């Protein structure tokens, strides 16, 4: 898979934008656990999109276990508090850890030279990014490349969905002082482990990277709470 095809895959569609907005409302508490969401017509009007885009977004959120669609009644936010981790963001981080530690380990065993060159290219573009938007873009391409190296299309698909759920908070994290430096250091450690064909080292540094993300999310949420 070349760089151009990866770039096409990660561009936001209308459905992606609707999904991000719904998730944002969930994260800020506008839609609460167990509550009924606005109708598809109301959501379409709110976001300025067609009803088909809203339907596709809600189907994806249902697949992820975030909402449930009740025929003839409407869409409800699932009771996330019944799970071991009570917030959507905590569940997103847990899912990222499970997927990315695995893909880092398998990536280190992948001998494909094109994959390794893609990974290095995205890391270098992260380092040279002049703005946060570009930095986030190449960060995601880096991780998506790791997911694709597993040669499991379902892992790659779920990784893309998780990116949508993590979008809003990632933007806040990157704006935090020192966060880019931490991310670059983590990505370099993962990259060097993959290039050296050291699966357990790649898994270790990926797990450490997710630890750093969890801490940054906590700091961002605490900061936002103080300004409310």
* Domain CATH for 176: 1.20.120.530
Domain finish residue from 82, 102, 135: 82
2 in any annotated domain = no
* Full domain range(s) for residue 43: 14-82
68 in any annotated domain = yes
**5 vs 183, residue with greater confidence:** 183
Average pLDDT of the residues of the chain: 84
Compute the distance between CA of residue 185 and CA of residue 174 in angstroms, rounded to an integer.
Answer: 14
Compute the distance between CA of residue 224 and CA of residue 169 in angstroms, rounded to an integer.
Answer: 11
Confidence of residue 145 (pLDDT cuts 50, 70, 90): very high
Is the CB of residue 118 less than 8 Å from the CB of residue 3?
Answer: yes
Q: What's the whole-model pTM score?
A: 0.71
Residues 209, 134: one domain? yes
SS (H, E, C) 18-60: HHHHHHHHHHCCCCCCCCECCCHHHHHHHHCCCHHHHHHHHHH
pLDDT at 84 over 50: no
pLDDT at 176 over 50: yes
Residues 72, 90: one domain? no
Domain finish residue from 52, 82, 112: 82
Tokens for 14, please give them.
């209308």
Residues 94, 24: one domain? no
Confidence of residue 5 (pLDDT cuts 50, 70, 90): very low
3 in any annotated domain = no
Confidence of residue 201 (pLDDT cuts 50, 70, 90): very high
Compute the distance between CA of residue 55 and CA of residue 53 in angstroms, rounded to an integer.
Answer: 5
């Amino acid at each position: 898979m070349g760089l151009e095809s990866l770039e096409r895959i990660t561009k936001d569609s209308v459905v992606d934008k609707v999904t991000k907005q719904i998730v944002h409302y969930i994260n800020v508490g506008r839609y609460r656990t167990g509550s009924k969401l606005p109708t598809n017509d109301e959501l379409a009007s709110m976001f300025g999109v067609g009803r088909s885009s809203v339907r596709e977004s809600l189907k994806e959120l249902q697949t992820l276990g975030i909402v449930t669609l009740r025929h003839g009644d409407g869409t409800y936010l699932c009771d996330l508090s019944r799970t071991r981790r009570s917030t959507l963001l905590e569940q997103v981080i847990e899912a990222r850890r499970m997927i990315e530690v695995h893909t880092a380990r398998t990536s280190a065993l992948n001998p494909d030279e094109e994959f390794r060159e893609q990974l290095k290219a995205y890391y270098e573009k992260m380092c040279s990014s002049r703005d946060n938007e570009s930095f986030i873009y190449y960060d995601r391409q880096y991780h998506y490349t790791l997911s694709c190296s597993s040669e499991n299309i379902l892992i790659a698909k779920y990784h893309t969905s998780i990116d949508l759920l993590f979008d809003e908070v990632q933007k806040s994290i990157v704006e935090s002082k020192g966060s880019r430096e931490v991310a670059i250091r983590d990505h370099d450690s993962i990259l060097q482990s993959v290039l050296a064909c050291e699966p357990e080292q790649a898994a270790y540094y990926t797990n450490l990277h997710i630890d750093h993300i969890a801490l940054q999310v906590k700091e961002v949420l605490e900061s936002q709470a103080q300004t409310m």
